[in-house]
Amino acid sequence: MLAPSAFAQSLSAFVAQNIGAGKKQRARQSMLCGMIASLILGAVMAYVSFFHGDILAAIFSKDGEVIFAAADYLKAYAIDTFMVCFLFCFIGYFNGCGRTTFVMIQGLIGALAVRVPASFIMANLPEVSLFKIGLATPISTVVQMVLCVTYFVLMLKKEKKHAERLSEV
């Protein structure tokens, strides 16, 4: 999560500078570049977490049960490492555009309306496991991604309408 988080913070500043300079296309391209670069790092972590979570867990504990449980959870975490590469770059982009209220709202929806209830539901399934409970995070990320893509498309449409009105004048 550190790499996507760093990309989000960097993108926020870069996008704000480019928006301020009137280079909206460059700001959007930087978001795409951030997503690609972040995805490369995310893919490595996803692979290690999914297939070698036991090795990662063994760094912190020698207890076999703890290592098994952590490795089980890390499989769900691995799924999320792919998606947060996109989500965090969207968040950095929107922050750079000054759309911080949307960032807050989508974060609250993801955490309170999706992740917490999904964790509760998964924890109450028969044969509960940390993998199943951990799936609440990628489920939340999917919802947040849908919100971000929708908001991004709406922003583009609004910019296009604004540009058309200016060209008519």
pLDDT of 169 over the 80 cut? no
Q: pTM for this one? A: 0.91
Domain spans of the chain, in order of start: 2-168
Q: What does the pLDDT look like over 35-53, one tens digit per residue?
A: 999 999 999 999 999 999 9
Angle (nearest 5°) at CA 47 between 46 and 51: 115
Average pLDDT over the chain reads 94
Q: What is the 3-state secondary structure (H, E, C) of 116-144?
A: HHHHHHHHCCCCCCHHHHHCHHHHHHHHH
Query: Are 21 and 13 contacting, i.e. CB atoms less than 8 angstroms apart?
Result: no
Average pLDDT, integer, range 57-85: 95
pLDDT higher than threshold 80 for residue 7: yes
Percent of the chain with pLDDT over 90: 88
Task: Round to whole Å and give the CA distance between 137 and 24.
Answer: 32
Whether the CB-CB separation of 92 and 18 falls below 8 Å is answered with no
